[in-house]
A and B are shown apart, each in its own frame.
Chain A
Amino acid sequence: MGNIYVPLKTLFESLGCEVILPPPCTKKTLELGVANSPEFACLPLKINIGNFIEAIERGADTIVMAGGVGPCRFGYYGEVQKEILRDLGYDVEMIILEPPRGNFLDLINKIKLITTQNNKTIKDLVRALRFAWKKALLLDNIEKQSSKLRPREIEKGQTDKVYNSLVKRILDVKDETELETLKEEISKAFSKIRVLKNKTPVKVGIVGEIYTVLEPFVNLNIEKQLGELGVEVHRNIYITDWVRENLLPSFLKPKDYKSILKLAEPYINCFVGGHGQESIAQIVNFSKKGFDGVIHLLPFTCMPEIVAKSAIPRVSQKFKIPVMTIVLDEHSAEAGFRTRLEAFIDMICHSKEVKNIAVLSGN
């Protein structure tokens, strides 16, 4: 799921586990997943299965998976995946981390359970968590910076080059002092990219189901594609925000989280699982921040986001912000996707021009 593997790998490695990374998602991953998953399961489950099989082939013997209590399907992924892998004849152990029902210590205890074989104390655990957290913050930082630079760069593709090498560097960092020196390196690397200073690109927000928003393979690299079209992209979900909002005990949650959710109430009045309600809230929020458009991503048959989708026409009308919904599944093809993006951006640019002319001519 996007870059989330970096902090997680760090966390488990500093706890003394050997971490085997599945290769980045490719077409093969998808094919493996689709062949072995239920037909109508949503896309993330299929890709997970592909990831698992590839990781097992590389020698993994334990899989750590998150659980949940619904109503979104994700909560039952672990169980179904366990059955599928068993049927395929793989002998792996699956540890499913159930979310703490209001008790943060539960989660820590479970993580501890994984690491007891390695004689680590709570102190080590806290240190590992802190280190992983710092890496996550840094990653979010470079993602945000590169999405700002991409539409403004003079030499196309430079930002991506820098970004990719930086992600690798962050993954390899072994202790906190090294991380500090890397920080300076990052700002240097980014400042070297030559940009058009006075350009004001179109600003588009991305909302939707977390997996499709975060995983570039699934969303066909939407951030990069939009960047190439000269669009500045902001996501509604970054890894660190997600952790803050969902895993921390309520008194540590960011303060604006609840107030943003309130924005969705006239359209979706209660929690509908997943990120359905948040998607709507963030569309409203983006329009208030003066964004030019929003793209809504969801995997095919995602239940919470379908509820959100039903509310989008009304929200879009009321706040006068164009919203495009893109449904992603294993059949999504890049060419058609690109065309839709281009058309959407053209439309935004056009309406912006019309507005500017209206302002200039005094209407």
Chain B
Amino acid sequence: MRIGIPRALFYYQYFPFWKNFFEQLGLEVVLSSPTNKEILKQGLEFCVDDACLPIKIFHGHVADLIGKVDMIYIPRIISIEPKEYICPKFLGLPDMIRNSISNIPHIVDTELNLYKGKNHILDHILNLGKILNIHQTRILFAYFKAIKAQRQFEKLMIEKFVTPQDIIDKRLTFIENQTFKKRRNNIKVLLLGHNYNIYDDYISMGLIRKLRKHNIDLITCEMVTKSQIKEGNKKLSKDLFWTLGKKTTGTAYYFLEHKKVDGIIHVASFGCGPDSLVGELIEKRAKLEYKIPFLYLNLDEHAGEAGFDTRLEAFLDVLEGRKHIEDNISTYG
């Protein structure tokens, strides 16, 4: 039995869990190819034109899996934290796929809804077992193994300041040797944005690669502990109800408050609902209260790489200039 996992959206967050879980159950996990032009093209073809770029790309990845697998795992992710939601498009994702793409293999779309409490993850797991027709004890055993791998994955990102892609592609030692020659004077940039945008090399046009090439220390939401995010979010008067948005604001406010970064880059996809409000909140604070440079990068299928690079380089020049001036101010005023 081959189960397909599209290399998009929550792949960047939960892949270690999914991989270990399904492999424990004796299934063969097949990933779609890394995002490329063909996938983007197919995504644009199938998806409704109002959707955002990552959703379109997801359609492309599903189309890429057709013919390669016996079933595709597209969980209906309603909520991954209590009292919070993911964007409405995630809620309706299996429906969108079914409505837009014909001739697809069987979709495993069990509901993942932790709105009422974290232990509802077991409902999700056990329902999966029912669909796959596997005995409960085996399911639970696989679940515990998988959750262990997932925790290790999350811990590694926080400890070593690496991206999920580094871990999944096993580039760790390479990264440590190459780009992480820690220099004290490195510029620190906070890279905000949804994980499926910033870590997808094709969507983000190699943003992380480019930043590392410029010897920039980057911090993303995944490299921050939960307590830090919680501390940052205390500055909001009303709790956000989007998990990803909350992570973004928490990280941003924490680092702004502790003055630990030189600049902020916010990556959002064109038409992203939650980010249109979240971005506004962060940008206002960063500019008015903390005077930290803020770059807002908007991604869509028409984004040209040259213009993107120019903006990025200009921003990095600004950061460097500021650092330079700061270092050269005489102590006597």
- Rounded to whole angstroms, the CA-CA distance of A273 and B273 in the bound complex is 12
- Closest CB in chain A relative to B156 CB, distance in Å: 30
- Rounded to whole angstroms, the CA-CA distance of A307 and B50 in the bound complex is 9
Which of B37-45, B208-216, B235-243 contacts its partner? B235-243
Q: Are A271 and B273 in contact (CB under 8 A)?
A: no
Q: Does A71 contact B (CB under 8 A)?
A: yes
Chain B residues whose C-beta falls within 8 Å of the C-beta of A271 in the assembled complex: 91
- Closest CB in chain B relative to A37 CB, distance in Å: 8
Known A-B contacts A41-B277, A71-B91, A270-B111; the reply to A310 vs B48 at CB < 8 A is yes
Which of A75-83, A151-159, A239-247, A339-347 contacts its partner? A75-83
Chain A residues whose C-beta falls within 8 Å of the C-beta of B94 in the assembled complex: 269
**Of residues 236 to 272 in B, which have CB atoms within 8 Å of A's CB atoms?**
236-238, 240-242, 268, 270-272
Known A-B contacts A310-B100, A311-B95; the reply to A87 vs B88 at CB < 8 A is no
Which of B158-166, B278-286, B306-314 contacts its partner? B278-286
- Rounded to whole angstroms, the CA-CA distance of A301 and B87 in the bound complex is 12
Q: Does B274 contact A (CB under 8 A)?
A: yes
**Of residues 80 to 137 in B, which have CB atoms within 8 Å of A's CB atoms?**
83-89, 91-92, 94-96, 99-100, 111
- Closest CB in chain A relative to B174 CB, distance in Å: 37
Q: Are A87 and B91 in contact (CB under 8 A)?
A: no
- Rounded to whole angstroms, the CA-CA distance of A313 and B98 in the bound complex is 12
Q: Are B277 and A76 in contact (CB under 8 A)?
A: yes
- Closest CB in chain A relative to B192 CB, distance in Å: 15
- Closest CB in chain A relative to B112 CB, distance in Å: 12
Known A-B contacts A270-B91, A307-B88; the reply to A40 vs B99 at CB < 8 A is no
Q: Which of A69, A73, A80, A310 has the most CB of B within 10 A?
A: A310
Known A-B contacts A309-B48, A327-B50; the reply to A72 vs B88 at CB < 8 A is yes
Chain A residues whose C-beta falls within 8 Å of the C-beta of B91 in the assembled complex: 71, 270-273, 307
| Total A-B Cβ pairs within 8 A | 120
- Rounded to whole angstroms, the CA-CA distance of A268 and B95 in the bound complex is 6
Chain B residues whose C-beta falls within 8 Å of the C-beta of A82 in the assembled complex: 237
- Rounded to whole angstroms, the CA-CA distance of A309 and B89 in the bound complex is 11
Q: Are A40 and B272 in contact (CB under 8 A)?
A: yes
Q: Are B48 and A73 in contact (CB under 8 A)?
A: no
- Rounded to whole angstroms, the CA-CA distance of A288 and B126 in the bound complex is 38
Q: Does B225 contact A (CB under 8 A)?
A: no
Closest to A308 in B: B92
Known A-B contacts A274-B88, A301-B50, A301-B271; the reply to A80 vs B95 at CB < 8 A is no
Q: Does B78 contact A (CB under 8 A)?
A: yes
Q: Does B288 contact A (CB under 8 A)?
A: yes
- Rounded to whole angstroms, the CA-CA distance of A87 and B235 in the bound complex is 16
- Closest CB in chain B relative to A267 CB, distance in Å: 6
Q: Does B51 contact A (CB under 8 A)?
A: yes
Q: Which of B51, B95, B241 contacts A71 (CB 8 A)?
A: B241
**Number of contacting residues on B, CB 8 A?**
41
What 1/0 mask marks residues of chain A from 53 to 67 whose CB sits below 8 Å from any chain B CB? 000000000000001
Known A-B contacts A40-B271, A40-B276, A270-B111; the reply to A303 vs B99 at CB < 8 A is no
Known A-B contacts A270-B78, A270-B111, A276-B92; the reply to A306 vs B277 at CB < 8 A is no
Q: Does B194 contact A (CB under 8 A)?
A: no
Known A-B contacts A83-B281, A276-B88; the reply to A310 vs B273 at CB < 8 A is no
Q: Does A304 contact B (CB under 8 A)?
A: yes
- Closest CB in chain A relative to B245 CB, distance in Å: 9
Chain A residues whose C-beta falls within 8 Å of the C-beta of B88 in the assembled complex: 71-72, 272-274, 276, 303-304, 306-307
Q: Does A42 contact B (CB under 8 A)?
A: yes
Chain A residues whose C-beta falls within 8 Å of the C-beta of B270 in the assembled complex: 40
Q: Are A306 and B89 in contact (CB under 8 A)?
A: yes
Q: Does B76 contact A (CB under 8 A)?
A: yes
- Closest CB in chain B relative to A344 CB, distance in Å: 18
Q: Are B273 and A301 in contact (CB under 8 A)?
A: yes
Q: Are A267 and B95 in contact (CB under 8 A)?
A: yes
Chain A residues whose C-beta falls within 8 Å of the C-beta of B100 in the assembled complex: 310
Chain A residues whose C-beta falls within 8 Å of the C-beta of B276 in the assembled complex: 38-42, 73, 301
Q: Which of B84, B237, B238, B284 contacts A87 (CB 8 A)?
A: B284
Closest to A68 in B: B241
What 1/0 mask marks residues of chain B from 50 to 79 whose CB sits below 8 Å from any chain A CB? 110000000000000000000000001010
Closest to B51 in A: A306
Closest to B298 in A: A40
Chain B residues whose C-beta falls within 8 Å of the C-beta of A79 in the assembled complex: 236-238, 281
- Closest CB in chain B relative to A150 CB, distance in Å: 31
What 1/0 mask marks residues of chain A from 261 to 287 whose CB sits below 8 Å from any chain B CB? 000000111111110100000000000
Closest to B279 in A: A38
- Rounded to whole angstroms, the CA-CA distance of A267 and B96 in the bound complex is 8
Q: Are B87 and A71 in contact (CB under 8 A)?
A: yes
Closest to A39 in B: B276
Known A-B contacts A306-B48, A306-B50; the reply to A71 vs B86 at CB < 8 A is yes
- Rounded to whole angstroms, the CA-CA distance of A304 and B275 in the bound complex is 15
Q: Are A87 and B288 in contact (CB under 8 A)?
A: yes
- Closest CB in chain A relative to B269 CB, distance in Å: 10
- Rounded to whole angstroms, the CA-CA distance of A42 and B78 in the bound complex is 22
Q: Does A314 contact B (CB under 8 A)?
A: yes
Chain B residues whose C-beta falls within 8 Å of the C-beta of A80 in the assembled complex: 277, 280-281
Extra A-B contacts (19), CB below 8 Å, given A40-B271, A42-B273, A302-B273: A70-B242, A78-B238, A79-B236, A80-B280, A83-B281, A83-B284, A87-B288, A268-B95, A269-B94, A269-B95, A270-B76, A270-B91, A272-B91, A273-B85, A273-B91, A307-B95, A310-B92, A311-B99, A313-B99
Sample of 12 A–B contacts (CB below 8 Å): A38-B276, A38-B280, A40-B272, A40-B275, A67-B238, A79-B281, A270-B91, A307-B88, A307-B92, A310-B95, A310-B99, A314-B99
User: Which residues of B are in contact with A by a Cβ distance under 8 Å?
Assistant: 47-48, 50-51, 76, 78, 83-89, 91-92, 94-96, 99-100, 111, 236-238, 240-242, 268, 270-277, 279-281, 284, 288
User: Which residues of A are in contact with B by a Cβ distance under 8 Å?
Assistant: 38-42, 67, 69-73, 75-76, 78-80, 82-84, 87, 96, 267-274, 276, 298, 300-304, 306-307, 309-311, 313-314, 327
Across the A-B interface, give the 9 residue pairs with the lowest CB-CB distance, nearest first.
Answer: A70-B241, A307-B92, A71-B85, A40-B276, A38-B280, A273-B88, A303-B88, A301-B271, A303-B273
